[in-house]
Amino acid sequence: MNIQSAVQERLITQVEDAMVEVLNESHMHNVPANSETHFKVTVVSPAFGSLRRVARHQMIYGLLQDFIEGPVHALALHLYTPEEWAQRQETSPQSPDCHGGDGSIPGG
């Protein structure tokens, strides 16, 4: 199982009534071809209703800790209740272009 599928499966099984989308955005970064290091994760769940945004992120980071300590370099988390998701018209934000790691920014 690839990392993208493993992350998605973990979130589906561990977050109550969740709609989960995991996109591999590694190709947008300065990494080798076919890398699985940068992911955009969208989770919609009623379980987030009683949690502040920071607590939502802490929850997901806790569930994915072994991936973060291993092969995953970056997670862009977009975490919503069903009501918040509906207000967004069921779309998560576009990811920005990568501006680091290619030598174009000093120290990047």
Total number of domains constituting the chain: 1
CATH number at residue 75: 3.30.300.90
Whether residue 43 is contained in a domain is answered as yes
Average pLDDT over residues 59-81: 94
pTM value is 0.82
Q: Give the model's pLDDT for residue 74.
A: 85
Least reliable range by pLDDT among 1-10, 57-66, 92-101: 92-101
Residue 83 domain flag: yes
Average pLDDT, the chain: 85
Query: Does any domain span residue 100?
Result: no
Average pLDDT over residues 14-33: 83
77, 79, 67, 5: which is closest to 37 by C-alpha? 67
Tokens representing 70 are 């291993």
Which pLDDT score, from 0 to 100, does residue 104 have?
46
pLDDT of residue 36: 75
Residue type, 2: N
**Domain span at residue 12?**
3-87
Please check whether residue 99 lies inside any domain of the structure.
no
Residue 97 falls inside a structural domain: no
In this structure, is residue 106 part of a structural domain? no
Say if 74 falls within a structural domain: yes
Determine, yes or no, domain membership for 102: no
Integer Cα distance of 36 and 69 in angstroms? 14
